[in-house]
Amino acid sequence: MKHYCNGRPATADDLAGAVVNYGHFTSLQVRGGAVQGLDLHLRRLRQGTTELFGSTLEGSQVQAWILAALQAEGVVDASVRVTVFARGFDFRQPLQVLPVDVLVAVSAPVTLPATPRRVRSVVYQREMPELKHVGTFALFQHRRLALQAGFDDALFVDGQGRVSEGTTWNVLFGRGDEVVWPQAEALRGTQERLLQAGWGGGAVLEPVTLAGLGRFDAAVACNAAGVWPLAAIDGVGFARSEALCERALGLLAETPWQPLG
């Protein structure tokens, strides 16, 4: 994985500033120099910068830095992570309005296979779930514990018993021909937004509880790297998850890719 900071190869000092646990990011897949939902990724970065640092971030500048990093690596297909931080951030003076630094990491492209997975539920609520912030310790630890217990991943449920999101993915459910998105506080992913736009009025938003999972016959997970069916959540199986996954993949196949250049 190669890193570029503010449009130039990252130095040790750049990376030292980025390890402070205060910042936000987005992860995206690039194919042929283009990104699905590029505008959504850039909007996420702008909003996070205003929220955490009180400053602005020009989407066009971020776009140019991503493109420059890809050109430096000589690739048009890649996985890219864009992290926004501030080397001048001081936790003792967190109200300072600071110029931000942008770290672009380029690695090999990834497409997660549409392999059915079994997940277990965990009562957990991310801090400030609306932000894709760098506080990811609990996400990875819950996934690790789920794997140790014989599952493929973990699904988060809030204190009211409502399904919210997976460790690094969103979830949707099927009920006959109806598509249901769970109504709870969660990070609203770019892939989720694209699928919601594709389904349009054909999808509904409602609270989904663990006790009510038996009302659904399908469940699908999604993030920027792919879409995959959920075979079961805890002991509840979903017979039509693979069919719903195929529908979702079909919608994404019709979603245009936005060029970086």
Into how many domains does the chain fold? 2
Both 46 and 84 in a single domain? yes
Q: How many CB atoms lie within 10 A of CB 33?
A: 17
CATH of the domain at 58: 3.30.470.10
Is 82 inside any structural domain? yes
From 52, 82, 107, give the residue that closes a domain. 107
Q: What is the pLDDT along the chain (261 residues), one digit of tens a residue?
A: 889 999 999 988 887 777 778 999 999 999 999 999 999 999 999 999 999 999 999 999 999 999 999 999 999 999 999 999 998 888 899 898 889 999 999 999 999 999 999 999 999 999 999 999 999 999 999 999 999 999 999 999 999 999 999 999 999 999 999 999 999 999 999 999 999 999 987 789 999 999 999 999 999 999 999 999 999 999 999 999 999 999 999 999 999 999 999
Strand, coil or helix: what is 89?
coil
Phi, psi of 77 (to 5 degrees): -120, 130
Q: How far apart are CA 104 and CA 3, in angstroms?
A: 6
Q: How many CB atoms lie within 10 A of CB 209?
A: 15
Is 36 inside any structural domain? yes
Is 241 inside any structural domain? yes
Record the tokens describing residue 39, joined without a space: 């505008």
Kindly compute the dihedral angle of the four CA atoms of residues 174, 178, 179, 182, in this order, to the nearest 10 degrees: -80
Instruction: State if pTM tops 0.85.
Output: yes
